[in-house]
Amino acid sequence: MKYLVLLILSVSIFACSQNSDKASDKADMYEASELSAMMREMVTFSKKAKATLAAGDIIMEVPQTFYDLSKQHGTRDEHLESAYQSMAPTYTDALHGIERKDSQQYYYDASIQACKSCHGVYCGGPLAVINQL
């Protein structure tokens, strides 16, 4: 437990120190990592899903590529870290819940909670976007 806390602390200091500025202002000026590219698709999907639920409709599809979240290469090899690996399934579990088409609002909320947990450790920049989802 002690080690996990230390790990999380050290990760949060180093992770994403410059990236959040770049990501928000000049998204196209640098080459996005696999992971960044997927994150952007996740934002788009979540926005649409939120609108769908608000309209009282059912989310019909979840992009299957999102299930590979834990295998996407991050700019700083975040995907190799155990903090990252331990949190990625929280997001994909929520996606499975959405796909069962039962209690979608609950699982949608769980998916956004998963974004927040991971971004509490890794780059906090995108939290501004995530908080609107």
Footprint of ligand HEC (CB under 6 A): 16, 19, 23, 27, 32-33, 35-36, 39-40, 42-43, 46, 74-75, 78, 84, 87-88, 91, 111, 114-115, 118-119, 122-123, 126, 129-130, 133
Residue closer to ligand HEC by CB (options 87, 98) is: 87
Residue 81 beta carbon to ligand HEC: minimum distance, rounded to whole angstroms: 9
- Reported as half-sphere exposure (CB side, CA atoms, 13 A), residue 76 has a value of 14
Give the span between the Cα atoms of 96 and 100, in whole angstroms. 6
Cβ neighbours around 129 below 10 Å, total: 17
Residue 55 beta carbon to ligand HEC: minimum distance, rounded to whole angstroms: 20
Whether the CB-CB separation of 74 and 33 falls below 8 Å is answered with yes
